[in-house]
């Protein structure tokens, strides 16, 4: 099992979606059953069929509770985002107090 590295960009193999890890941890980022690849180190022979997968939206953050891994979507696209087979949870934006 590979560790998700803080600050690294991960891409869906053969897909469009791209993520940056904002909090790393011990766990493997995946799209469906296929491990994601670090941008710039992609293996062109590995691809994932994203047909029917929901689209992750630009600027949204996702978290895996058991490992603490958090990612930010920097390029939207279809992806069944998970860590070691556990779906990642979409984080809600923090509500800040008004500065009236």
Question: pLDDT of 5-55, one tens digit each?
Answer: 999 999 999 888 999 999 999 999 999 999 999 999 999 899 899 999 999
In angstroms, the Cα distances linking 10 to 4, 39, 73, 99 are: 9, 5, 10, 36
Helices (H), the chain: none
Note whether 22 and 6 are within 8 A (CB): yes
Stated pTM of the model: 0.88
Tokens of 50: 């994203």
Give CA–CA dist 60/97, Å, rounded.
21
Note whether 5 and 59 are within 8 A (CB): no
Average of pLDDT values for 55-77? 96
* Confidence at 87, pLDDT banded by 50, 70, 90: very high
């Amino acid at each position: 099992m590979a560790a998700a590295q803080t600050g690294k960009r991960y891409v869906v193999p053969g897909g469009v979606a791209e993520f940056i890890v904002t909090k790393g941890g011990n766990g493997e980022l995946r799209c469906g059953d296929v491990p994601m690849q670090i941008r710039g180190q992609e293996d062109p022979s590995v691809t994932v069929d994203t047909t029917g997968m929901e689209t992750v939206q630009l600027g949204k953050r996702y978290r895996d509770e058991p490992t603490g891994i958090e990612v930010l979507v920097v390029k939207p696209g279809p992806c069944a985002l998970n860590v070691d087979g556990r779906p990642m949870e979409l984080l809600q934006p923090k509500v800040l107090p008004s500065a009236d």
